[in-house]
Amino acid sequence: MNPRIFLSPPHMGGNEQAYINEAFASNYIAPLGHNVDLFEQQIKEYTGAKYALALTSGTAAIHLALRVLGIKDGDEIMASTFTFIGSVAPILYERCIPFFIDSDTASWNLDPDLLEEELAKRSSKGIKQPKALILTHLYGQSAHILRIKNICQEYGVHLIEDAAESLGATMDGQHTGTFGEMGVYSFNGNKIITTSGGGVLVSNNAKLIEHARHLSTQAREATSHYEHTEYGYNYRMSNIIAGIGRGQMEVISERIKRRREIFDLYRAELDNIEGITFMPELETSHGNRWLTTLLLPEKVSPESIRTYLEKHNIEARPLWKPMHAQPLFKDSNGCINGVSDTLFAQGICLPSGSSMSNSEVKLVSSLIKDKLS
Ligand SMILES: Cc1ncc(COP(=O)(O)O)c(C=O)c1O
């Protein structure tokens, strides 16, 4: 049996341990210190965002974005339905009401036509607009961000970009996560680069990031005793794991290059099979191809492929089950067109780790071909 092929395992660059050792040497075993400052600096330089705040997770970053944008109990928040739960759970933390928008087939991400129709309809009927949109760039591929940003601006809706999976992906050369008022990256264990767990909130608005920084450290006022005028959280990233982040940021470009090569290799192996469709890439965008994802021929269930690969010690995964189809959100409203339901029913994520060899990609491909023949 071949050694296990994981979906997207961590892939260290080499300097992470040295930066962790620096934290030990300086005894900054704390949620502040040199590694945290330098990691934030690297994110700003790499993405072009003016301000960055390192946190315990991407979910925490989305939560803080909602808080600092002034979202209140009972406000309505729109969100991509085709996403991971971490995108939208913070809507519930703040006792707000989610409204889900489906995908289009051109991007697999949020359909800008559906969004525009809904906001225009509300505007003409005098119905209240949502306070914010949480837009996800899924699997490392940019959504129609330019159009969606314009639509949000036209109707006065705050735009939060969930770029948890899309660090390094660009549209017209600009990084996903930097178009909206706030952007979020995740450094969870299986992301394109990782800190074992972690997140970063970015913005070009200094006040928003300063407020988020305050809330991320229990909202302590600047007094010698502990004074609080609002409630916060314990969300700041530790100086130890920021050391991992520093090392990982040194290799992000190599990691993206390799993920894109893996995608191209899968496509060369499988694209000529009738009924297989790979996740698209919008014109003028450049994705990080975090995971290679594809739709299988209609008669083939993704679960049959997943279990077949599992028998060969290979980890694959279904596409995200859309939020509108989750029992948790059974009473929620949205604009649903069936696209994300089809993606979930027919799609699969193939192992895509940047440490995979070409022969491993070919092995996965040949097993899929065997199973389909
Ligand atoms: C699309 C998306 N949003 C949000 C998150 C949440 O990030 P984290 O796991 O760092 O909380 C993730 C990843 O885990 C994700 O894939």
Q: Mind listing the pLDDT tens digit for each residue in 91-110?
A: 999 999 999 999 999 999 99
Asked whether residue 6 is assigned to any structural domain, the reply reads no
Atom of ligand 1 nearest to the CA of 162: 3
Asked whether residue 3 is assigned to any structural domain, the reply reads no
pLDDT at 1: 81
Indicate whether 168 and 94 sit together in one domain: yes
- The CATH number of the domain where 343 resides is what? 3.90.1150.10
pLDDT at 20: 98
Asked whether residue 235 is assigned to any structural domain, the reply reads yes
Read off the tokens for 302.
């993704």
Beta pairing class for 292-295 and 132-136: unpaired
Indicate whether 125 and 229 sit together in one domain: yes
- The CATH number of the domain where 113 resides is what? 3.40.640.10
Best probe residue, ligand 1, of 7, 56, 59, 193 (max atoms within 8 Å of C-beta) = 59
Indicate whether 142 and 224 sit together in one domain: yes
Indicate whether 89 and 224 sit together in one domain: yes
Cα(186) to centroid(ligand 1), Å: 6
Rounded Cα–Cα distance for residues 213 and 226 (Å): 16
Indicate whether 26 and 125 sit together in one domain: yes
Which among 200, 218, 249 is the end of a domain? 249
Cα(26) to centroid(ligand 1), Å: 31
Indicate whether 184 and 320 sit together in one domain: no
Cα(126) to centroid(ligand 1), Å: 35
Cα(85) to centroid(ligand 1), Å: 8
pLDDT at 154: 98
Read off the tokens for 36.
């945290």
Please calculate the CA angle 196-200-206 and round it to the nearest 5 degrees: 160
Asked whether residue 153 is assigned to any structural domain, the reply reads yes
Indicate whether 52 and 158 sit together in one domain: yes
Q: Domain of residue 195: give its range.
A: 16-249
Residue 133: closest CA among 109, 105, 162: 162
Atom of ligand 1 nearest to the CA of 83: 1
Asked whether residue 2 is assigned to any structural domain, the reply reads no
Indicate whether 230 and 280 sit together in one domain: no
Asked whether residue 8 is assigned to any structural domain, the reply reads no
Cα(108) to centroid(ligand 1), Å: 17
Rounded Cα–Cα distance for residues 344 and 291 (Å): 15
Q: Which residues pair with 178 in a beta bridge?
A: none
Residue nearest atom 7 of ligand 1, based on CA coordinates: 58
Give the CA distances from residue 124 to residues 129, 151, 178, in Å, rounded to whole numbers and listed in that order: 11, 15, 30
Cα(47) to centroid(ligand 1), Å: 18
Indicate whether 244 and 256 sit together in one domain: no
Residues (pLDDT < 50) of the chain are none
Which among 249, 269, 304 is the end of a domain? 249
Indicate whether 243 and 98 sit together in one domain: yes
Q: Per residue in 146-187, pLDDT tens?
A: 999 999 999 999 999 999 999 999 999 999 999 999 999 999
Rounded Cα–Cα distance for residues 45 and 20 (Å): 21
Asked whether residue 7 is assigned to any structural domain, the reply reads no
Residue nearest atom 8 of ligand 1, based on CA coordinates: 58
Residue nearest atom 14 of ligand 1, based on CA coordinates: 188
Total domains in the fold of the chain:
2
Indicate whether 156 and 256 sit together in one domain: no
**How crowded is the C-beta side of 237, counted as CA atoms within 13 Å?**
35
Indicate whether 263 and 212 sit together in one domain: no
Asked whether residue 5 is assigned to any structural domain, the reply reads no
The helix or strand, by DSSP H or E, that contains position 131, with its residue range, turns out to be none
Which among 214, 249, 284 is the end of a domain? 249
Q: Using a 6 Å CB cutoff, which residues line ligand 1?
A: 57-59, 83-84, 86-87, 136, 162, 164-165, 186, 188, 199
pLDDT at 2: 86
The helix or strand, by DSSP H or E, that contains position 272, with its residue range, turns out to be none
